[in-house]
């Protein structure tokens, strides 16, 4: 586990811990509003118990005068780390770094190192020691086990682990997760391009951030912002969600316009109205499957450059296969209903349903792959309201095909 003051803060003042938990359950803007009611010393203690990335976001939302007060009362090494993290973009490793505490020189002996560690371990849980040169470049890592069993007079350079794995601060979280997936170290050092040790990041922090990104992705698909939490105030939640619902309403009018174009066909063949939701639901589910697989592949880095065409062809083929087999059941349902109503075009209506379902499933499979790819190409989050755009495409195509084919053939 990485060095952290969270446990010490909680033990010293349970109220600080409770306040930190309340802040973690809120978006940065709401967390800042909550903390702004407390003295600077209390806020400084709470910020030390928050994930580093959230700390940066909260500091950015606090008034400048209050931030100056917080910086004045916070420990110098914590302030230094805040300033180190600040320039890095959201979602990068540099934004999530914690300060390095156990830093030693290579010429130090084991005995000297242990003496320096004694006061450090009283305030922080330290897993590794880091050996650097005069310029701060990381030379190696010292484990507690090596310190325990090594000769007291042995220099650190003789027992340190050289060429240790490290992350770079500008590395996006998703790329970092790919690198650490098969390592499972409790703590990862973060170094710049010159090998200078900048900070640390714990494995738990990486997985917590990734878990948040994955859970937020589900909400993003239907227009729920990543910042919204259970504790988000009603007004803020309304502001987050309502614009996307207006967009969804506008796209629903598009689907409604398709039905209006074929109003005469619907009036003449009322039975088609029974199967409009069937096609919309089936093609929509097909599209959601393609969308989920595409987003998963993009998140895990499985979708490499040049694979987009193959992905779209695969999803179109799956749509055709699934549409063909589910279309047989839907066509049989249409034939039974039409025959029961003594409709002379029962067989032709069944054919229309089958063709429309195959075509709409193909289109929804293509849309499920293309929507996130298109959003990413234009610089947007691939998951952002993707379900809204997908639903529009599947509704328009499925209803248009069913009513259009019925108009042409019957």
At 144-193, the pLDDT tens digits run 888 989 999 999 999 999 999 999 999 988 888 888 877 888 999 999 99
What local confidence, expressed as pLDDT, does residue 183 receive?
A: 82
pLDDT band at 231 (very low <50, low <70, confident <90, very high): low
Return phi, psi of residue 161, to 5°: -90, 115
What local confidence, expressed as pLDDT, does residue 213 receive?
A: 61
Please say if the pLDDT value at position 3 is more than 80: no
**Cβ–Cβ under 8 Å, residues 390 and 284:** yes
In a domain, 96, yes or no: no
* Claim to verify: residue 10 and residue 58 sit in the same structural domain: yes
* Claim to verify: residue 163 and residue 190 sit in the same structural domain: yes
385 by DSSP, 3-state: which? Answer: coil
Final residue of a structural domain among 220, 251, 276: 220
In a domain, 98, yes or no: no
**Cβ–Cβ under 8 Å, residues 46 and 10:** no
Q: Which of 131, 151, 134, 153 has its CA nearest to residue 142?
A: 131
Domain count, the chain: 3
Is the full-model pTM beyond 0.85?
no
* Claim to verify: residue 183 and residue 149 sit in the same structural domain: yes
What local confidence, expressed as pLDDT, does residue 6 receive?
A: 44
* Claim to verify: residue 302 and residue 353 sit in the same structural domain: yes
* Claim to verify: residue 133 and residue 207 sit in the same structural domain: yes
Q: Which of 234, 229, 235 has its CA nearest to residue 215?
A: 229
Please say if the pLDDT value at position 123 is more than 60: yes
* Claim to verify: residue 240 and residue 171 sit in the same structural domain: no
Rounded Cα distance between 95 and 334, Å, is 58
In a domain, 94, yes or no: no
* Claim to verify: residue 118 and residue 245 sit in the same structural domain: no
Contacts with 161 (C-beta within 8 Å, 6 or more apart), sequence order: 140, 141, 142, 143
What local confidence, expressed as pLDDT, does residue 303 receive?
A: 80
Strand partners, 202: 187
When pLDDT is averaged across residues 191-202 and rounded to a whole number, the result is: 92
What local confidence, expressed as pLDDT, does residue 341 receive?
A: 86
Q: What is the CATH number of the domain that holds 238?
A: 1.10.357.20
When pLDDT is averaged across residues 333-360 and rounded to a whole number, the result is: 91
In a domain, 50, yes or no: yes
Q: E strands within 73-171?
A: 103-105, 128-132, 138-143, 161-162
Please say if the pLDDT value at position 384 is more than 70: no
What local confidence, expressed as pLDDT, does residue 10 receive?
A: 44
What local confidence, expressed as pLDDT, does residue 223 receive?
A: 52
Pair type for strands 161-162 and 128-132:
unpaired
> What domain range is 337 assigned to?
234-409
* Claim to verify: residue 82 and residue 150 sit in the same structural domain: no
Final residue of a structural domain among 86, 120, 135: 86
Write the pLDDT tens digit of every residue in 271-313.
888 888 888 888 888 998 998 888 888 876 778 888 899 999 9
Write the pLDDT tens digit of every residue in 200-229.
998 888 887 776 565 555 555 555 555 666
In a domain, 111, yes or no: yes
Q: Which of 102, 106, 58, 65 has its CA nearest to residue 82?
A: 58
CB atoms within 10 A of CB 194: 8
What local confidence, expressed as pLDDT, does residue 9 receive?
A: 44
* Claim to verify: residue 272 and residue 343 sit in the same structural domain: yes
What local confidence, expressed as pLDDT, does residue 29 receive?
A: 87
Rounded Cα distance between 270 and 285, Å, is 25
Contacts with 66 (C-beta within 8 Å, 6 or more apart), sequence order: 36, 40, 43
In a domain, 91, yes or no: no
* Claim to verify: residue 26 and residue 144 sit in the same structural domain: no
């Amino acid at each position: 586990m990485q060095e952290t003051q969270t446990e010490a803060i909680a033990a010293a003042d349970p109220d600080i811990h409770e306040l930190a938990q309340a802040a973690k359950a809120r978006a940065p803007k709401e967390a800042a509003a909550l903390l702004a009611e407390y003295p600077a010393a209390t806020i400084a203690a709470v910020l030390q118990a928050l994930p580093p990335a959230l700390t940066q976001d909260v500091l950015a939302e606090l008034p400048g005068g209050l931030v100056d007060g917080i910086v004045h009362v916070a420990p110098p090494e914590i302030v230094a780390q805040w300033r180190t993290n600040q320039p890095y973009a959201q979602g990068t490793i540099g934004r999530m770094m914690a300060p390095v505490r156990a830093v030693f020189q290579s010429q130090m002996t084991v005995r000297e190192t242990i003496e320096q560690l004694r006061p450090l371990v009283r305030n922080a849980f330290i897993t590794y020691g880091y050996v650097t040169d005069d310029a701060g470049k990381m030379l190696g890592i010292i484990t507690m086990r090596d310190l325990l069993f090594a000769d007291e007079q042995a220099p650190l350079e003789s027992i340190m682990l050289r060429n240790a794995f490290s992350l770079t601060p500008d590395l996006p979280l998703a790329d970092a997760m790919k690198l650490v997936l098969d390592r499972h170290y409790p703590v990862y050092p973060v170094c710049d391009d010159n090998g200078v040790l900048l900070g640390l990041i714990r494995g738990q922090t990486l997985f917590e951030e990734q878990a948040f990104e994955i859970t937020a992705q589900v909400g993003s698909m239907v227009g729920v912002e990543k910042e919204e939490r259970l504790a988000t105030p009603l007004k803020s939640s309304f502001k987050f969600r309502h614009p996307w619902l207006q967009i969804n309403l506008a796209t629903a009018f598009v689907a409604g316009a398709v039905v209006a174009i074929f109003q005469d066909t619907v009036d003449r063949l009322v039975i088609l109205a029974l199967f409009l939701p069937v096609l919309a639901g089936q093609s929509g589910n097909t599209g959601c499957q393609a969308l989920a697989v595409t987003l998963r592949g993009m998140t895990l880095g499985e979708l490499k450059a040049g694979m987009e065409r193959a992905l779209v062809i695969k999803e179109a083929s799956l749509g055709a296969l699934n549409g063909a087999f589910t279309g047989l059941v839907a066509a049989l349902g249409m034939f039974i209903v039409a025959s029961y109503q003594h409709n002379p075009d029962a067989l032709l209506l069944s054919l229309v349903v089958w063709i429309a379902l195959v075509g709409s499933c193909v289109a929804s499979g293509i849309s499920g792959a293309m929507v996130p790819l298109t959003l990413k190409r234009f610089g947007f989050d691939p998951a952002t309201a993707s379900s809204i755009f997908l639903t529009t495409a599947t509704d328009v195509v499925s209803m248009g095909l069913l009513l259009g084919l019925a108009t042409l053939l019957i």
